[in-house]
Amino acid sequence: MATAGKVIKCRAAVAWEPNAPLMMEEIEVAPPQEGEIRIKVVATGVCHTDLYHLFEGKDKRGFPTVLGHEGAGVVESVGPGVTDFKPGDKVIPLFLSQCGECKFCKCPKTNMCDCSWSSNYHDIMSDPTTRFTCRGQPILQFMGTSTFSEYTVINQIAVAKIVDDAPLDRVCLLGCGIATGYGAAVNTAGVTPGSVCAVFGLGAVGLAAVMGCKNAGASRIFAVDINEQKFEKAKVFGATDFLNPKAYDKPISEVLAELTNGGVDFSLECVGNTEVMRTALESCIKGWGVSVLVGWTDVKDFSAKPIQLISGKTWKGSLFGGFKSKDSVPNLVCDYMTGKIKLDEFITHKMSLEQVNDAINLMKTGDCIRCILNISK
């Protein structure tokens, strides 16, 4: 490629500061260094975690940055020492790496690779090393990825190679939201055939959790959201019962207990709200109920009555659905191509990178499940 080894100037949406619109800028993207890959981003989803960083997170040091972490693209060039990737390969950037060497990668119980930005920098949500500059300033790479840019540079431990015929404007969703929700149900919760489940929050992550419960053989899936517009989609993914907590004058955990003779077997919190996390735990049945935190928040502590756990419930959390990222994402792409999992049904809007602020507003108002931004051809 004519660009290999050179700095690339390209378009990117820069978040200069929290709580402000992103700005379209020309940025410089340095060539990949040892073990790194430069990727031409083709498409990206907008996830609530992008909005969390921009509007909700308490730590404001993670700026200026290029947001976006749910993308797919094509390898432009590779740095020294990269042998598993070549220009032209289709890839998905991974916000959670899999180095294969650390004690966490070697342990089958977890996907928490020690080499990810999240090990040391979850407060600023980026690794301070970056290959981006703009107007003479370094620009952080959000969650180590930064897909709201035409080009990005990522270490090979955080890139998954996928099949050549994968449609990038759909499989990009497997870079975060859909893998997260789906895996939280099938891996972390370990939903069993015939079980009763409740999913709180019906954005893409929650809907993917519903899909996971359904694929794991759940017999009844309660879809819980304060926005009733989401119920129709939840039905598409397999939800059987629909509850709006605002429509009841008692806690929704009590409503669920009455409807299920004691509580659900599995509950998944896909909102990112500590009160909902508590409610999801309280909605589980004593003895064996399992509740999983999927929503992302680092703003407040949560609380619960110890009896909730003493009575035999389990409270767990899940990052990227418990999937070992590099191994699993290529398989999930194949699961989509063979019809085992849905992706198209999550996509409600398509826009250009220039319209990124409109896409963010749509997420904020709850009018969209996933908006795909087409970044380049």
Is residue 206 part of the contact set for ligand NAD (CB under 6 A)?
Answer: yes
Is residue 332 part of the contact set for Zn ion (CB under 5 A)?
Answer: no
Q: Closest distance between ligand NAD and the C-beta of residue 68, in Å?
A: 13
Structural element, H or E, at residue 268 = strand 266-269
CA 324 to chain centre: 14
Q: Which of 47, 204, 270, 353 binds Zn ion (CB under 5 A)?
A: 47
Is residue 218 part of the contact set for Zn ion (CB under 5 A)?
Answer: no
Nearest CA-CA partner of 149 in 62, 63, 39, 51 = 39
Is residue 202 part of the contact set for ligand NAD (CB under 6 A)?
Answer: yes
Is residue 144 part of the contact set for ligand NAD (CB under 6 A)?
Answer: no
Q: Which of 36, 127, 225, 265 binds ligand NAD (CB under 6 A)?
A: 225
Q: Where are the alpha helices (DSSP H) in 237-372?
A: 252-260, 274-282, 307-310, 325-337, 356-365
CA 132 to chain centre: 23
Candidate segments 40-48, 158-166, 265-273, 329-337, binder of Zn ion by CB under 5 A: 40-48
Tell me the residue number closest to ligand NAD, measured at CB.
203
Nearest CA-CA partner of 279 in 295, 181, 241 = 295
Q: Which of 14, 41, 66, 271 binds ligand NAD (CB under 6 A)?
A: 271
Candidate segments 126-134, 135-143, 172-180, 308-316, binder of ligand NAD by CB under 6 A: 172-180
Q: Are the C-beta atoms of residues 264 and 198 closer than 8 Å to each other? A: yes
Nearer to ligand NAD, 23 or 226 (CB): 226
Rounded to whole angstroms, the Cα distance separating 350 from 253 reads 37
Q: Closest distance between Zn ion and the C-beta of residue 176, in Å?
A: 3
Residues 300-329 interacting with ligand NAD (rule: CB under 6 A): 318-320
Is residue 52 part of the contact set for ligand NAD (CB under 6 A)?
Answer: yes
Candidate segments 14-22, 42-50, 162-170, 328-336, binder of ligand NAD by CB under 6 A: 42-50
Rounded to whole angstroms, the Cα distance separating 205 from 335 reads 17
> Which amino acid belongs to residue 4?
A
Nearer to ligand NAD, 77 or 283 (CB): 283
Nearer to Zn ion, 176 or 213 (CB): 176
Rounded to whole angstroms, the Cα distance separating 66 from 357 reads 13
Rounded to whole angstroms, the Cα distance separating 279 from 291 reads 10
